[in-house]
């Protein structure tokens, strides 16, 4: 049961207002939307005195409630972080508007002209954890792609988010677009999140962002279509023919460069024929950067002081300086392991054998498959999309890094001159 | 509770077998898949003596259970229908294979080569009603696009479907592809359908085909991503400037040419300024073809012997020779009505006014929007897709007529030469 007392508009009245806002946004020009985004950037950069007291309140509650240091850090805003957020919004404003792009089209044999055109989804719902930067981020991406956004942030960030949404609404209304283009439903508490997941007909798509638990809850409870962004139990396979220096560099980069993100390496698989040669230098480089190795028996026979890997380790997304390591008999055994434990995010093979590279690329069923590259390249920015909407691990609609285009639907426009079907 | 007694493999064992088959299909060549399709066409055309006795049994049960004449007709197979089904499968075999198509790709500034490539979903589930033709149809489309199919047909067609799936499996195995590429779960009854809807991780996408009730059940109960194909409460708006002969011809074609399908017209909206001029000839032509008119008060003031339209009529997909008719004040009132009652399938405006045509096309939020054309053109065959996978009324993944490409996902293939992220 929620203990929130709601005194403002009812839940459905808010969603109705989002739909109305979406109608206006659907035909807003890129110029109008970009003006709103620049106004948002300005207000975020200049409103520390309104934002930070609310954030301090959330941080005080977080300490009182014993939130972890990591969660407190993700919750914290300061002048520098607000500046970076504003800059990110300006970058979104500078991107090409996907709306109105003609995906394909033709003139049919009967003269009918058909065109498939990018349109906004309408209302995009987002459910996420206590990271107030996501509030600005999702609102900006939704607005750029002509969508109204309904936000349910983590309750630990509720005071911060309330102020941020006020600022967003002021900025948007200030350029003549509907204030309701961005709304929060935080005041409805957990009940609100549950209602949002069942708001089919009001919300066109739901994007959960956060832990695997959060995403699983949304996926299993939602009747609104969900874009699953995701957990990454990411693998690299060092093939028999792997180049040693590539192996050392790529594994180190994939694990160490930024261990807390979904495209970071979690499990290293090594071909038995080269395990004795490759594991010592690869693991030494990792350990020099503070990585804890969880290895199978074969790994522990080659390298000393390795923590025994448990069955659970193979399925774990550490998001920390930990790595599971397993020696496998061959490419097929590597792919069997990946099939069993992967979350189908990103897997890479390090090899100089063309046939095995092609088999890996063809047979591994993940959003991104790589040869001789660090898994850290699975990223909208790296792929040249300009914006980081998330990385989809589902197969419907969008798979892998998502750009603004993945926040749109399409419609078919058909132009006739009195055409009837024969 | 299901009363079915299952003696064969368990439900999950069957889905495991589908996944294994999907792995093989994912890398099967177009040549192999087309050979399987031609074998299916041959066996469907030549196996009347195996199929029709099972179909007779289903028909006898249908009569005993008091199924409507229409449902009995959809359930019935005969030599001519089997021949048409076989021919349709041959047409699918002749289409271009979508698998392996490169959707987009580039070389990044750092030299990394990225390409987004079409791949099968994996396992496609289908839940449909007692139309045995759908069994062959979905199996062929899934196979062509490299997907394994798990079928749950209506229980009234269970004996027919069992034989059809046996024949499909024999044909597929006969060309060396896995027999389990197509499976039925009809033996698990309603429990099987419920389990299929929750089989996330086993089934990649679920396609319901049939009544609005069936589709709503699947959409609300499924945790597997669903492609909603759909009900069509389809509208035509006769604008002030509509050409009279176009109005008569298009409305007649949209309502009468094939009233039982989702792109048939259900509600006609007429601009008040031309209602007296247009309604008499338009409705006279419809009545000459046996259409019953359900009209609002203004309509009934202009044309005699019109059934009063109820609130329910506006939301009804008749799929019969019935039509709701309403007089509206202007384009905005027409779009308000559409927003309230449409299922967002197809809407068309008949007009000679450019500004109003463009507003209608831009502002009406449906999968297909038309000007001066019959709504019957919303069709994969008419759009040149070659195959009729269904018409999606959702905004995620696919919207409007779906071709084979909409039965696929994509993956990103990344080729480096030792690339690490800086």
pLDDT in tens, B339-380: 999 999 999 999 999 999 999 999 999 999 999 999 999 999
Nearest CB among A225, A383, A411 relative to B114 is that of A383
- Asked if A334 and A268 touch (Cβ cutoff 8 Å), the reply is no
For range B215-244, the mean pLDDT: 91
Q: State the pairing for strand pair B265-271/B234-238.
A: parallel
CA end-to-end span of chain B: 59
Shortest Cα–Cα distance, A301 to chain B (Å): 28
The string over A167-204, giving b where at least 16 C-beta atoms fall within 10 Å of a residue's C-beta and e elsewhere, is: bbbebbeebebbbbbbbbbbbbbeebbbbbbebbebbb
Work out the number of other CB atoms within 10 angstroms of the CB of residue B102.
11
The string over A224-236, giving b where at least 16 C-beta atoms fall within 10 Å of a residue's C-beta and e elsewhere, is: bbbbbbbbbbbbb
For range B224-237, the mean pLDDT: 90
Nearest CB among A116, A369, A374 relative to B413 is that of A369
DSSP B306-320: PEEPPHHHHT----S
Residue A378, chain B, CB below 8 Å: the answer is yes
Work out the number of other CB atoms within 10 angstroms of the CB of residue B65.
10
Partners of A378 on chain B (C-beta within 8 Å) are 412, 414
Q: Taking each helix axis from N to C terminus, what angle separates A30-46 and A79-93, rounded to the nearest 10 degrees?
A: 170
pLDDT of amino acid A203:
96
For range B3-26, the mean pLDDT: 86
The string over B376-398, giving b where at least 16 C-beta atoms fall within 10 Å of a residue's C-beta and e elsewhere, is: bbbbbebbebebbbbbbbbbbbb
What tokens appear for B147 in the block? Answer: 């997907």
SS3 B167: helix
pLDDT of amino acid A2:
41
Work out the number of other CB atoms within 10 angstroms of the CB of residue B317.
18
Q: What whole-number distance in Å separates Cα of residue A107 and Cα of residue B382?
A: 11
Q: Per-residue pLDDT tens for B373-391?
A: 999 999 998 998 877 778 9
**∠ Cα B15 B17 B18 (to 5°):** 60
Q: Which residues contact B334 (CB under 8 A, 6 or more apart)?
A: B235, B237, B269, B271, B328, B349
Pairwise CB contact (< 8 Å): B121 & A204: no
- The total number of residues shown for chain A amounts to 422
Residue B352, chain A, CB below 8 Å: the answer is no
pLDDT of amino acid B212:
81
pLDDT of amino acid B130:
86
Q: What whole-number distance in Å separates Cα of residue B187 and Cα of residue B159?
A: 10
Pairwise CB contact (< 8 Å): B411 & A367: yes
Nearest CB among A243, A366, A418 relative to B418 is that of A243
Nearest to B412 by CA among A341, A253, A393: A393
Q: What whole-number distance in Å separates Cα of residue A278 and Cα of residue A270?
A: 8
For residue A326, what are the β-bridge partners? A269
Q: What whole-number distance in Å separates Cα of residue A346 and Cα of residue A324?
A: 16
Q: Taking each helix axis from N to C terminus, what angle separates B30-46 and B158-174, rounded to the nearest 10 degrees?
A: 130
Shortest Cα–Cα distance, A250 to chain B (Å): 6
Q: A390 — phi, psi (to 5°)?
A: 135, 175
Pairwise CB contact (< 8 Å): A374 & B257: no
Shortest Cα–Cα distance, B418 to chain A (Å): 5
CB pairs under 8 A between A and B: 210
- Asked if A10 and A110 touch (Cβ cutoff 8 Å), the reply is no
Q: What whole-number distance in Å separates Cα of residue B275 and Cα of residue B302?
A: 8
What tokens appear for A388 in the block? Answer: 């980081």
Residue B106, chain A, CB below 8 Å: the answer is yes
Tell which phi-psi region holds residue A366, choosing left (phi > 0), alpha (psi between -120 and 50) or beta.
Answer: beta
CA end-to-end span of chain A: 59
SS3 A342: coil
Q: Alpha helices of A181-294 — where are they, by DSSP H?
A: 189-197, 212-221, 244-256, 272-288
SS3 A72: helix
What tokens appear for A213 in the block? Answer: 């638990």
What tokens appear for B390 in the block? Answer: 């269904």
For range B302-307, the mean pLDDT: 97
Q: Per-residue pLDDT tens for B255-268?
A: 999 998 899 999 99
* pLDDT tier for residue B2 given thresholds of 50, 70 and 90: very low
DSSP class of A289: T
pLDDT of amino acid B6:
58
Among all chains, which residue has been given the structure tokens 């709701």?
A: B324
- Asked if B101 and B117 touch (Cβ cutoff 8 Å), the reply is yes
Q: State the pairing for strand pair B102-107/B113-120.
A: antiparallel
DSSP class of B235: E
Class at the top of the CATH hierarchy for domain B11-227+402-414:
alpha beta
Q: Which residues contact A56 (CB under 8 A, 6 or more apart)?
A: none
Nearest to B8 by CA among B208, B166, B199: B166
What tokens appear for B345 in the block? Answer: 């399938």
- Asked if A332 and A360 touch (Cβ cutoff 8 Å), the reply is no
- The total number of residues shown for chain B amounts to 422
Could you list the beta-strand ranges (E) of A129-250: 148-152, 182-184, 205-209, 234-238
Q: Which of residues 172-231 of A touch B (CB under 8 A)?
A: 200, 204-205, 219-220, 223, 225-227
Domain residues of chain A, as ranges?
A: 11-227+402-414, 234-377
Secondary structure element (H or E) that encloses residue B51, with its range:
helix B48-64
Partners of A401 on chain B (C-beta within 8 Å) are 412
Is 90 exceeded by the pLDDT of residue B213? no
Work out the number of other CB atoms within 10 angstroms of the CB of residue B10.
10
Q: Which of residues 240-299 of A touch B (CB under 8 A)?
A: 243, 245-246, 249-250, 252-254, 257
What tokens appear for B200 in the block? Answer: 């996330």
What tokens appear for A231 in the block? Answer: 């957990």
pLDDT of amino acid B5:
53
Residue B409, chain A, CB below 8 Å: the answer is yes
Shortest Cα–Cα distance, A265 to chain B (Å): 12
DSSP class of B101: -
Q: What whole-number distance in Å separates Cα of residue A419 and Cα of residue B376?
A: 10
Class at the top of the CATH hierarchy for domain B234-377:
alpha beta
Residue A108, chain B, CB below 8 Å: the answer is yes
Shortest Cα–Cα distance, A271 to chain B (Å): 18
Partners of A257 on chain B (C-beta within 8 Å) are 420-421
Nearest to B349 by CA among B193, B253, B235: B235
CA dihedral B95, B96, B98, B100 (to 10 degrees): 150
Shortest Cα–Cα distance, B357 to chain A (Å): 10
Q: State the pairing for strand pair B113-120/B408-419.
A: antiparallel
Q: State the pairing for strand pair A234-238/A346-350.
A: parallel
What tokens appear for B77 in the block? Answer: 């197979």
DSSP class of A264: S
Rg of chain A taking only CA atoms, in angstroms: 24
Q: What whole-number distance in Å separates Cα of residue A23 and Cα of residue A38?
A: 22
On average, the pLDDT of chain A sits at 95
Nearest CB among A219, A249, A254 relative to B223 is that of A219
Q: Which residues contact A103 (CB under 8 A, 6 or more apart)?
A: A116, A117, A118, A410
Q: Find how far residue B28's CA is from the centre of its chain.
A: 26
**Nearest chain A Cα to B361, which residue?**
A413
Nearest to A103 by CA among A416, A415, A413, A417: A413
pLDDT of amino acid A1:
36
pTM: 0.92
- Asked if B405 and A362 touch (Cβ cutoff 8 Å), the reply is no
- Asked if B148 and B123 touch (Cβ cutoff 8 Å), the reply is yes
Alpha-carbon dihedral sign for residues A317, A323, A324, A330: positive
ipTM of the complex: 0.92
pLDDT of amino acid B219:
87
pLDDT of amino acid A389:
78
pLDDT of amino acid B97:
96
**Mutation target among A353, A407, A416 for the B interface, most CBs of B within 10 A:** A416
- Asked if A415 and B373 touch (Cβ cutoff 8 Å), the reply is yes
Q: Which residues contact B238 (CB under 8 A, 6 or more apart)?
A: B247, B251, B268, B269, B270, B271, B274, B278, B282, B350
Is 90 exceeded by the pLDDT of residue B70? no
**∠ Cα B223 B225 B229 (to 5°):** 120
What tokens appear for A53 in the block? Answer: 């007291």
Is 90 exceeded by the pLDDT of residue B230? no
DSSP class of B104: E
Q: What whole-number distance in Å separates Cα of residue B316 and Cα of residue B299?
A: 18
Residues of chain A with pLDDT under 70: 1-7
For range B66-87, the mean pLDDT: 94
Nearest CB among A219, A253, A409 relative to B395 is that of A409
């Amino acid at each position: 049961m929620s203990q929130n007392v709601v005194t403002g508009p009812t839940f459905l009245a808010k969603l109705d207002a989002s739909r109305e806002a979406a109608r206006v946004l659907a035909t807003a020009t890129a110029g109008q939307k970009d003006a709103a985004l620049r106004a948002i950037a300005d207000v975020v950069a200049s409103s520390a005195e309104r934002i930070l007291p609310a954030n301090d309140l959330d941080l005080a509650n977080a300490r009182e409630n014993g939130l972890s240091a990591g969660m407190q850090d993700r919750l914290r805003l300061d002048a520098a972080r607000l500046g970076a957020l504003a800059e990110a919004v300006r970058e979104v404003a500078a991107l090409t508007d996907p709306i109105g792009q003609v995906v394909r089209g033709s003139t049919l044999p009967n003269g009918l002209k058909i065109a498939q055109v990018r349109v906004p989804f309408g209302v995009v719902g987002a459910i996420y954890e206590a990271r107030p930067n996501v509030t600005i981020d999702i609102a900006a991406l939704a607005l750029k792609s002509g969508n109204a956004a309904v936000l349910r942030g983590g309750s630990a960030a509720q005071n911060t988010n309330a102020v941020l949404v006020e600022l967003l609404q002021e900025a948007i209304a200030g350029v003549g677009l509907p204030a309701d283009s961005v709304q929060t439903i935080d005041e409805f508490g957990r009940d609100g999140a549950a209602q949002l997941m069942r708001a089919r007909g009001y919300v066109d798509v739901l994007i959960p962002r956060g832990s695997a638990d959060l995403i699983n809850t949304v996926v299993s409870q939602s009747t609104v279509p969900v874009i699953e962004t995701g957990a990454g139990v990411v693998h690299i396979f060092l093939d028999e023919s792997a180049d040693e220096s590539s192996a050392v560099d790529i594994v180190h980069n994939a694990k160490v460069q930024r261990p807390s993100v979904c495209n970071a390496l979690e499990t290293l698989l090594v071909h038995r024929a080269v395990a004795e040669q490759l594991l010592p230098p690869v693991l030494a480089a990792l350990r020099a950067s503070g990585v804890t190795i969880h290895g199978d028996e074969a790994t522990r026979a080659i390298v000393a002081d390795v923590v025994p890997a448990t069955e659970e380790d193979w399925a774990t997304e550490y998001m920390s300086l930990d790595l599971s390591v397993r020696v496998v008999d061959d490419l097929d055994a590597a792919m069997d392991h990946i099939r069993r434990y992967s979350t189908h995010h990103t897997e890479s093979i390090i090899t100089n054998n063309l046939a095995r590279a092609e088999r890996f690329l063809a047979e591994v069923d993940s959003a991104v498959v790589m040869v001789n590259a660090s898994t850290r390249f699975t990223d909208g920015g790296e792929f040249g999309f300009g914006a980081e909407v998330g990385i989809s691990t589902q197969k419907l609609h969008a798979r892998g890094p998502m750009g603004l285009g993945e926040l749109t639907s399409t419609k078919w426009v058909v132009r006739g001159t009195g055409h009837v079907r024969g």
